[in-house]
Amino acid sequence: MRYILASSSPRRKELLEQAGFTFDIIPSAVEETITKTEPSEIVMELASKKAEDVFRRHGQQDCVVIGADTIVVYRDEILGKPADKAEAYDMLSMLADRTHQVYTGVSLVISKKGQVHTRTFCESTDVTFCPICKEDLHAYVESGDPLDKAGAYGIQGPFAVHVKCIHGDYHNVVGLPLCRLYQELLTEYTSPLSER
């Protein structure tokens, strides 16, 4: 079985490698147009578009294409990647000492024995930050780390010192809910990792 990650995200690549998967990386070229309004529906729609795009262009028999999309939400506002350092600072100031949600949608296009079908799901994790002083916020923003991350932070990096608690899957916040992904694949195969 060939696995294809339809994403150029270094975080998702690292997570799949840590889990023991052997896979190819073929980023989707699809335009990320949103037609849904609920966060869970948005990430599932985008994940589906990515997975279907890569399968259409590179899929083959006996393969699984993994598409994923992650958004950060606070009080119904979607926080994407900040445009600049000022926006990153504003986002983090808003999230400090509060709880927000991280949604990741995953779509699997599975081709097996001549049959193709799709499994799409979403995981949500609550993340609570500690109060954060202005000096720490400025130092983190100046590091440049927030600029390529939804919500302007990475939980797996230096910003981890400001994360008070999470409720849900930690890996979901990084960008890919590994446990749910594996359980979904188990419904298709005896053990996806036994093929290594």
- Which amino acid is it at 137? L
In terms of phi and psi (left: phi > 0; alpha: psi -120 to 50; beta: otherwise), the region of 175 is left
Angle between helices 178-186 and 10-19 (to 10 degrees): 60
Catalytic machinery residues: 69
